[in-house]
A and B are shown apart, each in its own frame.
Chain A
Amino acid sequence: MLNNITMGQYYPVDSKVHRLDPRIKLILTIVFIVIVFMAKTFLGYAVILGFVWLTARLANVPFRMLLRGLKPLRIIIILTFLLNLFFTTGETVWVQFWVIRITKEGFLQAAFYSLRLIFLVIGTSLLTLTTSPVSLSDGIEILLSPLKVIHFPAHELAMMMTIALRFIPTLLEETDKIMKAQMARGADFESGNLLSRAKAMVPLLVPLFVSAFRRAGDLAMAMESRCYHGGEGRTRLRVLKLTRNDWIACGAMAALLALIILEGIFL
């Protein structure tokens, strides 16, 4: 439904994975994270890789989209690898000169920890690639709603997310408009050093903020006039229903969990 907006990472195709209940996907992602931490051997990682690859295939998401999620974290991953490589003590020395000493154990541990990071990122990317922000906020709202007992604002949080999503395109359009208006009056956003460019943003940001606050006031009034009074007694148009595929997904994740537990016992 939101095909025409590129928002976050969402990869808008239709697939069995896309159609899964967002609540299930959120829970399974958390389980997956636990599984990644439980795996102790490279064999376990091979099983996890197979699982991720299969899910990506089912989700119609090309593997390079998954790898793209790694890009912002590449420095951390490389750093993890190098630190482990150089500072792990071990028996089997591969390379040694000056202060550098690379051992077999060090290399294996470095590979293991960086793979763990990579799996964590890919696993969560699969969630955000296959779940639209709107259904994600739906899922979060329902999963967090038991916390309402301790006055956690689950509904308000989800409403804020929805409104933010609704207004991102509007505010982008407005930014563009203001920018053009300021440029027509001789504003220069592109040249100069960092400081002068930051200063040039002021005449862009001030009107944008003023208008965002005005919009917020208007919207609050419009929402009130349509009887909005918080989450209490509210019904929903979109009702999440578990389907057979949701149970199959749970089953698959349980199987993966079992395999990794067995791996922990026997290897």
Chain B
Amino acid sequence: MRSDTRVQLNDVSYSYEEQATPALSDVSAVIEPGEFVAVLGHNGSGKSTMAKLLNALYIPTEGNVLVCGYNTRDEKLVWEIRQRAGMIFQNPDNQIVATVVKEDVAFGLENLGVPTEEMLPRIESALSAVRMSKYADKAPHLLSGGQKQRVAIAGILAMEPSVIIADEATAMLDPSGRKEVLETIRTLNRQKGITVVWITHFMEEAALADRVLVVTDGKIRLSGTPAEVFDRVEEMREMHLDVPHMTALAGELRAEGMPLKPGILTVDEFVEEVERLCPLKSAT
């Protein structure tokens, strides 16, 4: 196994040529192996730029990005980096290259020069990991959005990456497709130990991560577990970001003097906490 599978950003800044203000400025972060990190931010916050820096699609204007110990500045290492840090994009249609599902999964392997006889088993295991095996011979345009994204994930998975970066991979999907893709990624994270960088603007998705980085105006403003981050309701509001409804409600009740514990994200947690504070006298 590779010794260093961390992803590091060291004082990274990035400016687009045509813009005066940098999209990212002085960002530093370390993403540990096997971690599920959500990067949360609204449109234009720089979160998408961050994703593209991790895959050597963009090279930082200042600072360094290290993926599994490889610096993205080194042009010779570009393919090594992209094989280790696979990326899923927002639009499910615009990242499928081939006219048949299994050939699309093969695309990355073909590019890496993997021998043909090795390809089929890798494609099969990648497709079964995203539960798309029975669609192997279908044409991609007949699949739903969620299924297309799962094919895209399989295409990355076949390349055996250490890190998967999802750049708003669920933004164009319907709720059921969103759930399906998120569950697939979570399973891969837990079972195969693949590091996930999940870029999103959905609070509910960020709430499922091990750690949340909140990005606004090109800077990481908050970092911590979802509970820690969402409990700072006021700060989140200042950044025009919502928090999950239950966290917001708990915050308001706390302001009114109700001693609710911090870190409530879901309805269930809220109910449990309220029941702990004021136990119901059993009606039956």
Contacts and interface: CB of A to CB of B under 8 A. Distances in A.
Q: How large is the interface on B (under 10, 10 to 19, 20 to 34, 35 or more residues)?
A: 35 or more
A219 B141 contact: no
B128 interface: no
Nearest to A164: B99
B107 A226 contact: yes
Given A166-B97, A173-B141, A229-B111, A237 B106 contact: yes
B82 A227 contact: yes
B95 A238 contact: no
Contact of B93 (A5, A165, A170, A223): A170
B82 A226 contact: yes
A84 B155 CA distance: 59
Contacts of A165: 99
Given A169-B139, A215-B94, A219-B97, A235 B116 contact: yes
A227 B159 contact: yes
B139 A225 contact: no
B141 A169 contact: yes
B113 interface: yes
Interface string A232-247: 0111111100000000
A227 B89 contact: no
A2 B107 contact: no
B100 A235 contact: no
Contact of A238 (B89, B97, B103, B115): B103
A239 B118 CA distance: 13
B109 interface: yes
Given A226-B155, A227-B79, A234 B87 contact: no
A5 B141 CA distance: 10
A221 B91 CA distance: 12
A170 B95 contact: no
A170 to B, nearest CB: 5
A239 B96 contact: no
A191 interface: no
A176 interface: no
B227 to A, nearest CB: 33
A162 B109 contact: no
Nearest to A233: B113
A244 B277 CA distance: 80
Contacts of B97: 162-163, 166, 219, 222-223
Nearest to B90: A218
Interface in A210-267: 214-215, 218-219, 221-229, 233-239
Contact of A227 (B108, B138, B139): B108
Interface of A: 1-2, 4-5, 134, 162-163, 165-166, 169-170, 173, 214-215, 218-219, 221-229, 233-239
Given A218-B95, A225-B86, 5 more contacts: A1-B100, A163-B97, A169-B141, A222-B87, A229-B111
